[in-house]
């Protein structure tokens, strides 16, 4: 429908221009007609709001702003040209049409990049509330800044409405260039089933976030370039060279996660402190529901690696890794061999993989090549592994539903994205139900 709207708006511009060529309008007449045409375009958009795929949300905000600015500008030009009887030049008309079409198409870019995704149906009994705050770690200086400011960890809560009993806490860590909403359907599903979910952000590793001054913090260009280069290197780097990068990245993330765990545990027992930046009533309510004896961790990609390593803590009861290479379990490298943590993994662990990740890991095992995920899974007391046929890396997030175009460029497979994320979320809930609530036993298929 967005394409239909663009075609109609483009057609009105072309029709207006062709008509102007034949009518030989004066500037006064032409500017008045421009006001009418732009007003008509706004009416067309408003009428098309009844159609699926067209809304007044962020996808079309740019178009709305563009049309109203053009309407105001056309009105101003009409007032200024009320006495101008010169014939409007065809060249100016044509240039104006081209510029108008470019402006309209550019303003509609979000409508083509993003879908009208509004979440997935929830299976739990609770409505879900949300809250957000920023945790200030005064033990760490922000290394991405030079002003001596402290490290800040934004936290976004998803929690059941109207629940008075203490609930298990699930903490989520996003992937490289990710953001806190990357798996919002998972958070909503967990919260509807009686969990407090805290999705933390890793500033300068996340695509964008905000600090306590309200300043927009975008992904660090150095981290962005290094992560992309190494991720697409095809064995151009030795394991020692890769470890020199990944160990730095993982330290930041592990420190963030450990700080969040410790802070939320302390707050659940003794209340909110000044570590929390401007906590509102909802933040206080969310924290008050936390049962700090039942904590689970989950993450996607590099966030999954973060969850796995922090999952070695004695106070963590269950861990989920969504297609993440367990980088935090690599302790060093010698030449082209990783030095991997062989200490048995005692926390129940659920590992999801895309199909070629699974096949590659299996091939490594056949060839006797040491791979960190295989070592950790093989040495775990309770480990479960599953993969999804045809899935790619971003299919374990909501991105294919929110923006199929972006997901396709980052790695999205030929799967039913709604069915897959619903299946993933259902498995995650069952896993945490088993190990955090003591409900039933957990099993998972080898593949889906």
71 and 164 housed in the same domain: no
| CB crowding 365-377: b at 16 or more within 10 Å, else e | eeeeeebbbbbbb
Give me the pLDDT at residue 116, please: 81
pTM: 0.87
379 and 277 housed in the same domain: yes
Q: How far apart are CA 311 and CA 34, in angstroms?
A: 63
335 and 228 housed in the same domain: yes
In a domain, 380, yes or no: yes
Question: Strand, helix or coil at 335?
Answer: coil
Give me the pLDDT at residue 365, please: 83
Give me the pLDDT at residue 118, please: 87
In a domain, 347, yes or no: yes
In a domain, 448, yes or no: no
Of 419, 137, 447, 442, the closest CA to residue 296 belongs to: 442
98 and 192 housed in the same domain: no
416 and 314 housed in the same domain: yes
- Residue percentage of the chain with pLDDT more than 70: 98
70 and 165 housed in the same domain: no
Q: Which helix (H) or strand (E) holds 244?
A: helix 239-270
Q: How many domains does the chain have?
A: 2
Give the chain's count of helices (H) and strands (E): 15, 12
Q: How far apart are CA 425 and CA 418, in angstroms?
A: 11
Q: How far apart are CA 289 and CA 305, in angstroms?
A: 27
262 and 345 housed in the same domain: yes
95 and 137 housed in the same domain: no
Give the domain extent around 101. Answer: 2-113
- Tell me: the pLDDT tens digits for 339-384? 999 999 999 999 999 999 999 888 888 888 889 999 999 999 999 9
Boundary residue ending a domain (86, 113, 140): 113
234 and 359 housed in the same domain: yes
Looking at residue 243, the DSSP 8-state letter turns out to be H
Question: Six-digit token pair at 108?
Answer: 């509609």
Identify the segments of the chain with pLDDT beneath 50: none
108 and 135 housed in the same domain: no
Give me the pLDDT at residue 233, please: 67
Q: What is the 3-state secondary structure (H, E, C) of 270-316?
A: HCCCCCECCCCHHHHHHHHCEEEEEEEEEEECHHHHHHHHHCCCCCC
- Tell me: the pLDDT tens digits for 162-191? 998 999 999 999 999 999 999 999 999 999
Q: What CATH number has the domain bearing residue 231?
A: 3.40.50.1820
242 and 368 housed in the same domain: yes
151 and 247 housed in the same domain: yes
Give me the pLDDT at residue 335, please: 77
In a domain, 295, yes or no: yes
In a domain, 442, yes or no: no
């Amino acid at each position: 429908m967005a394409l239909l709207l663009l075609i109609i708006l483009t057609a009105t511009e072309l029709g207006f221009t062709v008509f102007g060529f034949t009518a030989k309008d004066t500037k006064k007449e032409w500017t008045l007609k421009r006001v009418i045409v732009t007003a008509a375009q706004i009416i067309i958009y408003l009428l098309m709001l009844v159609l699926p795929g067209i809304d007044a949300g962020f996808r079309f905000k740019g178009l709305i702003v563009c049309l109203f600015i053009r309407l105001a500008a056309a009105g101003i030009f009409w007032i200024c040209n009320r006495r101008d009887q010169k014939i409007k030049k065809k060249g100016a008309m044509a240039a104006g049409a081209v510029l108008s079409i470019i402006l309209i198409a550019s303003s509609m870019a979000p409508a083509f990049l993003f879908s009208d995704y509004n979440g997935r149906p929830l299976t739990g009994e609770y409505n879900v509330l949300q809250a957000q705050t920023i945790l200030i770690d005064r033990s760490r200086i922000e290394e991405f800044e030079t002003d001596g400011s402290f490290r800040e960890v934004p936290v976004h809560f998803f929690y059941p409405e109207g629940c008075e009993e203490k609930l298990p806490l699930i903490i989520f860590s996003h992937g490289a260039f990710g953001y806190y909403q990357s798996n919002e359907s998972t958070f909503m599903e967990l919260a509807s089933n009686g969990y407090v979910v805290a999705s933390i952000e890793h500033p300068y590793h996340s695509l964008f976030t905000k600090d306590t001054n309200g300043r927009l913090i975008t992904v660090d260009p150095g981290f962005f370039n290094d992560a992309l280069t190494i991720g697409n290197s095809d064995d151009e780097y030795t394991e020692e060279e890769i470890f020199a990068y990944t160990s730095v990245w993982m330290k930041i993330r592990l420190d963030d996660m450990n700080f969040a765990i410790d802070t939320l545990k302390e707050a659940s027992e003794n209340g909110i402190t000044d570590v929390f930046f401007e906590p509102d009533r909802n933040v206080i309510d969310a924290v008050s529901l936390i049962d700090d004896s039942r904590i689970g961790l989950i993450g996607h990609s590099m966030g999954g690696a973060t969850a796995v390593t922090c999952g070695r803590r004695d106070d963590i009861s269950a861990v989920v890794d969504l297609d993440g290479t367990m980088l935090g379990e690599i302790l060093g490298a010698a030449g082209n061999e990783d030095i991997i943590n062989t200490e048995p993994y005692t926390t129940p662990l659920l590992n999801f993989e895309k199909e070629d990740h699974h096949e590659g890991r299996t091939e490594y095992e056949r060839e006797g090549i040491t791979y960190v995920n295989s070592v950790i899974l093989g040495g775990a007391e309770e480990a479960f592994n599953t993969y999804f046929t045809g899935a790619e890396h971003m299919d374990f997030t909501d991105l294919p539903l929110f923006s199929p175009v972006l997901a396709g460029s980052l790695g999205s497979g030929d799967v039913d994205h709604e069915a897959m994320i619903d299946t993933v979320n259902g498995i995650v809930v069952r896993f945490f139900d088993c190990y955090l609530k003591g409900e039933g036993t957990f099993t998972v298929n080898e593949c889906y």
